[in-house]
Amino acid sequence: MSFTTSFSPLVSSHPNHLQHLLPPATRSEYRQFLKDPVWFQRQPGHPDSLLSAINPHEHAHMRKLLSPAFTPRALRAQKPVLQKYMNLLVDRLREQVQHGDGVAGIDMGPWFNCTTFDVFGDLGFGESFDCLRHCQYHPWIALLFSNVKAASFVAAARYYPLVESLLMKCIPRSLQQKSERHYQQITTATVLTGILSFLVNEPGKMAQLVNEVRHAFSSSKDVTLQAVANLVHLNAVIQEGLRLCPPVPWMLPRLVPEEGSSVCGTWLPQESPVSLQAYSLNRDPSNFHEATTLLPERWLPDASTNADPPFFHDNRRAIQPFSIDPRSCLGQHLACAEMRLILAKLLLAFDFKAIDGKRLQWEDLRTFLLVEKRPLEVRVRLAG
């Protein structure tokens, strides 16, 4: 981050690769850049997926077929499924707390993962992974977490074809085929982990959100998709969480087209790999007031219209947590719905506090395609 904010919005991160903080005014050009096959290349013997498809026409065809299942209307039809697993999450955590005589130290990361994967299994395959039911990961899910870090090494190996060929022979075909389907669930749980880690470290911000949730709802059954969508402060916290804790801290590389293009004022020849540094962009002081601080109020309705607040000049358009059209994430409505419901139900039912010596510092986490997983152990007690 320090290179792009201190020296230039366009830097060379390694040979023949540039990372940038692309100004919003030039993003229309970036949308036309095709994906870099080094990172998106399909595996030999496998068809293209929505994630790996590079050809824009093939990608558009796939997206057209899948998009009806991811609309807000389709999401509303799945309300019972979402409620089922959100309520089960609360029940499981309540069991943990009661077993600990009213208070327990709980690593929340795995619980977020279990919930989002159970929802995905039910919606995507018609059958839950039963992670919440058994209080442990399904074997496929456990394998996937190991595979995320390995995937970055596989992509790096593509710079050396012989190494790639040898490496791919060591990875089971079934794992190669299935792993990319589940990455969205990791990213949703990652943002939830990041949001909670910031909130427990900022008791004042936590109190504001808890106050809103508990004034809005008297019981868990009142926490519905429509109701949580109207909670102004909750949605502001989620937006701020997406800004500070992007689960994919960089937008995977794309290639400059044949005619070349200007990026951040620098002319680049065809097939130059470039990627957007979302983490740096989101924390750039030129884009946001107190850019590294959790300040959900920057997303409140009057922050962008009233010239008095310090956030009036924040560059909100810089935030693209779900990528840029036409490659934006199809599951963004589901992801936001899950985050709203999970946070609202948890804060209604429990009090969360940081444990000294076990605070998670988001800035210390490493990135292997996605943000690495580290424990987020917090003190949980039943809401009083």
Radius of gyration of the chain (CA): 21
Residue 233 CA to residue 246 CA, distance in Å, equals 19
Residue-wise pLDDT tens digits, 77-126: 999 999 999 999 999 999 999 998 889 999 999 999 999 999 999 998 88
Residue-wise pLDDT tens digits, 344-360: 999 999 999 999 999 99
7 within domain boundaries: no
Higher-confidence position of 276 and 25: 276
pLDDT at 281: 87
In terms of residue numbers, what domain contains 344?
Answer: 71-247+321-382
275 within domain boundaries: no
Q: Which two tokens stand for residue 162?
A: 């012989």
Query: 275 φ, ψ to 5°?
Result: -140, 150
Higher-confidence position of 311 and 162: 311
Q: Which of 73-77, 95-99, 186-190, 369-373 has the lowest mean pLDDT?
A: 369-373
Residue-wise pLDDT tens digits, 157-175: 666 655 555 555 555 555 4
CB 171 within 8 A of CB 158: no
209 within domain boundaries: yes
Q: Which residue has the tokens 């995977």?
A: 252
Q: DSSP letters along 177-194, please? A: HHGGGGHHHHHHHHHHHH
Mean pLDDT of the chain, nearest integer: 84
pLDDT at 14: 62
pLDDT at 181: 47
Would you place residue 75 in the very low, low, confident or very high pLDDT band (cuts 50, 70, 90)? very high
104 within domain boundaries: yes
Residue 199 CA to residue 363 CA, distance in Å, equals 15
Residue 48 CA to residue 42 CA, distance in Å, equals 6
Annotated binding site: 329
230 within domain boundaries: yes
In degrees, to the nearest 5, what angle opens at C-alpha 341 toward C-alphas 297 and 207?
40
pLDDT at 29: 60
**E strands present in 86-179:** 103-107
Q: How many CA atoms lie within 13 A of 317 on its CB side?
A: 8
310 within domain boundaries: no
Q: Structurally, how many domains does the chain consist of?
A: 1
239 within domain boundaries: yes
Query: 359 φ, ψ to 5°?
Result: -75, 135
336 within domain boundaries: yes
Average pLDDT over residues 41-54: 77
pLDDT at 309: 77
CATH number of the domain encompassing residue 212: 1.10.630.10
pLDDT at 63: 92
pLDDT at 34: 87
Annotated binding site for heme: 329
pLDDT at 22: 61
